[in-house]
Amino acid sequence: MPAALVVWFATMAGLLLGWWWCAVGGLAGAVAGLVVLARARGRSAVDRWWRLGVAWSLVLCGLLVTVVVTMRLRDAADDPLRALATADSVGTFRLEITERARPVFAAGFGGQQSGVRVVVLPARVVMAEVAGRPVRSTGAVAVMAPTDRWRTLLPGQRVTARAVIVPAEPGQLTVAVLRVRGPPDEVSEAAVWQRVAQTLRSGLRDAAQVLDPEPRGLVPALVVGDTDDVPSQVVDEFRAAGLTHLLAVSGTNLAVVCVAVLLLLRTLRCGPRTAAAGAMVALVGFVVLAGPEPSVLRAGVMGAVGLLALALGRQRAALPALGVAVIVLVLWDSAMAVSIGFALSVLATGALVLIAPRWAERLAAGGVPRGLAEALAVPAAAHLVTAPVVAGFAGEVSVVAVVANLLAAPVVAPATVLGVLAAVVAPMAPWLAELLVRLAGPEVDWLIVVARHAADVPGAVISWPGGWLGGLLLAGCAIVLVAALRRRRLRVLVAVVLTGLLVVVIPVRVIAPGWPPAGWAVVACDVGQGDALVLATGEAGRAVVVDTGPEFGPLAACLDRLDVSRVPLVVLSHLHADHIGGLAAVLADRAVGAVGVSRAREPRWAWKEVRRNAQDAGVPVVQLTAGQRLAWSGLVIDVLAPDEKEVMPAAESDGTEINNASLVLRAATPAGRVLLSGDVELAAQAQLLDAQVDLSADVFKVPHHGSRYTSPELFAAVRPRIALVSVGSGNRYGHPSPVTLRMLARLGTLVLRTDTGGDTAIVATRTGPRAVTRGPARRPP
């Protein structure tokens, strides 16, 4: 283990601080080994052998890091592609794909539908030519390419592509990012075993089609880490519940498969060596099935360590095995030294072999049944040691993770085994694969239920300082907590503190949470680059939703925070993706009366999606037009535009015409008049002004995310006290425009932006509307 720590931290220092720090760390480890070696003399035989093992492992690994790893990091740091990337050079590359494509989900905006349009493929440069000159580079690159023909490439295939060279993230072995626009050329054939594995994975996906949409995507994710078809809502819920490790290939997957094979062979009365050989074959086969990528190989090695600990029942044997695993993996792929997944795997495996058995013994000694003691100890130990890394990386801590993992654990093994069997038999007997998937369906449904209910617990995820400081702070808190629990008097103090938290803090957060503010009338939800506004009625839990943002998760979270369970009307101002993408979030778990749209039916794909979602939910779609008045207790909405005479955009219309067809609404609320303008641009604004419609309002939802296409005459006609700008942080459209913000400033209007203030509520007071912001949401990494 000392040698493993030297290899790991010296490589990490070389990547984060500079390659020379790797040499410094390696030499320091070698010197430490020589010191231990010198002090080994005169000791007892057992002590001397232990010290010799530590000493020689430190010397050998320190020298390997100093020579091999340092040279690798220096070559990556001096790679010529790094210099070319700063100039956005264009070149032709011959590449060897090293991992399967990872899809990049993009939220919709305007007429562009949300979905996967780009994939990222790690690759190695074989040959490169920039500006007609060869470039000597064999570095690792990340290829960003369109899905067409790139998504199906397999590791080991070689392709030729023309790409723009852009800088890679610092602190990585990746020397550059290659942005490709067209399909790959001169594609070589994949290895036979890669094609076989791809066939098995495709067979599993096809067999999973017999399930409902959510479990259909989760089965391949649980078995082989294929998350392409997992709904974003499920991903968010698994993250909040601390179950995201189930969506990737982990040591658990391999341990389950190997243990199943071991039990089967032992049942057949095979000898220990035969059973071990069979388990090893299963391990190799599963790695091939999931793809021999760094994350899978890491999981394979860590799973083997866990199996060793379980098989031998000796912590002393497992700990050196874990150290060897760390040394081999980091020396083989130095990038793992800064991989969050690698750190989580090492820590979780260490907790499995070091902490969990001791905790289980203490619980059993205290009268807890042995099975329950082990079931409690394993997730608790794993969560304790991995929580600081997760907190430092994601800036949040799941407080329901231990319970969620305890509830999920019983079904993980059968679901994984059934999924693997389905993948194996799918090419030969699709009917049998479908049967096995159906048998795995209830287990997968249970995982979704656990994740959903855990994520719905108030305060399930708490914010925590991110970065190194936040991780170290939580690690310190965990150490203090464990140390306190070891002493009887301090244990009582901890119990009192925790009881106080349960009795005081949690009820306060549940019964009287800080959000939403009492008496809210309107809330602009922080949904990123899109619009979603909620207008309260006079009945608790009942509200009208105007636009639904670009995707499911943010709007669902916003409505949950507002405790909205009934929606008499969902208004879609127009059919651009950033206004309709989250419609399913409203329709999924709430009683919805109708979906209101204008006469515009473009883009055609968006209109079909709205109708399909509404039909699936059994909700009618109604048409709104100027002159209509909609009234509920405490809320009245007038439709101001467009009227029946206006020409609606045709199929070939551009984004401006579709924006100008937006519904414009004026709402009378307890906080005053609110003008909701959709994305109307200059032409539609001029029609409103020419029609001499009363546009005055206390609160104004600025059109089109604060774009520069807003006339000063419109602002003068509205003269709002408060302006709401629904906009995404760091968007590439330049929203909101500084010109628009200056116009509002000249009117003395208070401007509130969702990218900087998060959810923004308008509250009624005696002196008029008052704004309350929740703070910007922390987006999951």
The full DSSP string for 248-262 is S--HHHHHHHHHHHH
The long-range contacts involving 479-488, CB below 8 angstroms and separated by at least 24 positions, are: 482/384
Q: What is the pLDDT at residue 491? A: 61
565 three-class SS: coil
669 three-class SS: strand
pLDDT-flagged residues of the chain (< 50): 511-512, 781
Listed residue (221, 152, 194, 213) closest to 419, CA to CA = 221
Whether a cis peptide bond, with omega within 30° of 0, leads into 670 is no
543, β-bridge pairs = 536
Location of structure tokens 């790893």 = 69
Location of structure tokens 């050329």 = 185
Q: What is the pLDDT at residue 136? A: 87
Q: What is the pLDDT at residue 296? A: 75
Residue type, 762: I
Reported as a single tens digit per residue, the pLDDT across 7-54 is 999 999 999 998 999 999 999 998 888 888 777 665 666 666 777 778
Location of structure tokens 């998760």 = 553
Q: What is the DSSP letter of 678?
A: T
Q: What is the pLDDT at residue 145? A: 93
Q: What is the pLDDT at residue 549? A: 93
Q: What is the pLDDT at residue 351? A: 83
106, β-bridge pairs = 115
Spatial neighbors of 737 by CB under 8 A, at least 6 apart, are: 706, 707, 708
Residue 768: other Cβ atoms inside 10 A = 12
Listed residue (113, 183, 103, 177) closest to 141, CA to CA = 177
Q: What is the pLDDT at residue 512? A: 45
326 three-class SS: helix
Q: What is the pLDDT at residue 559? A: 94
Reported as a single tens digit per residue, the pLDDT across 726-759 is 999 888 889 999 999 999 999 999 999 999 999 9
Q: How far apart are CA 126 and CA 165, in angstroms?
A: 15
Spatial neighbors of 664 by CB under 8 A, at least 6 apart, are: 573, 639, 640, 641, 642, 675, 676, 677, 678, 680, 684, 688
544, β-bridge pairs = 535
Q: What is the pLDDT at residue 346? A: 83
Q: How far apart are CA 376 and CA 767, in angstroms?
A: 55
Whether a cis peptide bond, with omega within 30° of 0, leads into 507 is no
| Alpha carbon separation from 262 to 275, 277, 311, 411 (Å, rounded) | 5, 9, 10, 19
Q: How far apart are CA 161 and CA 145, in angstroms?
A: 10
Taking the model in full, what pTM does it have?
A: 0.76
Kindly state the helix (H) or strand (E) to which residue 119 belongs, with its residue range.
strand 115-130
Please give, one letter per residue, the 3-state secondary structure of 164-184. EEECCCCCCCEEEEEEECCCC
Alpha helix segments (H runs only) across 333-464: 340-350, 356-365, 370-394, 401-425, 430-456
| Alpha carbon separation from 5 to 46, 69, 142, 147 (Å, rounded) | 23, 14, 28, 40
Please give, one letter per residue, the 3-state secondary structure of 582-612. CHHHHHHCCEECCEEECCCCCCHHHHHHHHH
Q: How far apart are CA 81 and CA 84, in angstroms?
A: 5
DSSP string, 200-259: HHHHHHHHGGGS-HHHHHHHHHHHH---TTS-HHHHHHHHHHT-GGGGS--HHHHHHHHH
